[in-house]
Amino acid sequence: MFSIIQAAGWPIWPLVACSILALALVIERFLSLQVAKVAPPRLLDEAIAVSRNTVPGPDVVTQLEQNSALGEVLASGLRALNSDPTCTELDLRAHMENTGRAVAHRLERYLSSLATIASAAPLLGLLGTVIGMIEIFGSQSPAGGATGGNPAQLAHGISVALYNTAFGLIVAIPSLIFWRYFRVRVDEYLLTLELSAERFMRHLNNLRRP
């Protein structure tokens, strides 16, 4: 592998950096976008059961908030009622929506960076190709010269061009696939959070004091 990198020349080093960064982002997103950390399936029913007759105390709300992203959204509604039991429905909705926006931003974190790598890697590979072609043409003698081109430099220029093109695609294609995968997964989570928050909002309306 190192010999391939050496043969590709210096233009491949930005692609190597992009590949390492893309791998780190993919691993981080896989760890962060687990179901248990975002929207545990039974959490909404448990939160409704705990607050069926009254608003839970701060300790229970804090435990719910630390459970997951969904728990954070649900806990914001309970905190609003703990702070002001007579708050209006609009105030309650505003608290939950603000928390939801913060959670959504966290779920989408690094996706734009992964998309940027998927877009930039082919261009970096193209840059390496152009540099390799420049070396190829630079190795040729002027027209009418007594000697031909330098075979070693010609071969090096071809290797730079081909290796960079291939490596750019090798980095871009998986990055694009994982970006699409995480994008769909985040959209599904956001829909789940929105529907759960709406259902919990109706439940909290029954707990508000007139």
Average pLDDT over residues 28-44: 94
Sign of CA dihedral 37, 41, 46, 47: positive
CB 156, CB 131: distance < 8 Å: no
Selected residue with higher pLDDT from 11 and 142: 11
pLDDT band at 156 (very low <50, low <70, confident <90, very high): low
Q: Is 34 helix (H, G, I), strand (E, B) or coil?
A: coil
Selected residue with higher pLDDT from 179 and 83: 179
Which residue's entry shows tokens 């491949």? 12
Average pLDDT over residues 146-168: 71
Which residue's entry shows tokens 């950096």? 17
Residue 153 has pLDDT above 70, yes or no: no
Average pLDDT over residues 196-208: 87
Q: Is 13 helix (H, G, I), strand (E, B) or coil?
A: helix
Alpha helices in the chain (DSSP H): 2-8, 12-32, 35-38, 43-50, 58-65, 69-83, 89-107, 111-138, 151-205
Tokens of 72: 């954070």
Selected residue with higher pLDDT from 14 and 208: 14
Dist CA 74 CA 58 (whole Å): 13
Tokens of 6: 């050496």
- What's the mean pLDDT when you consider all of the chain? 86
Residue 39 has pLDDT above 80, yes or no: yes
Dist CA 60 CA 74 (whole Å): 12
pLDDT band at 166 (very low <50, low <70, confident <90, very high): confident
Cβ of 85: how many Cβ atoms within 10 Å?
12
Picking from 40, 88, 33, the residue whose alpha carbon sits closest to that of residue 64 is 40
Selected residue with higher pLDDT from 74 and 142: 74
CB 136, CB 157: distance < 8 Å: yes
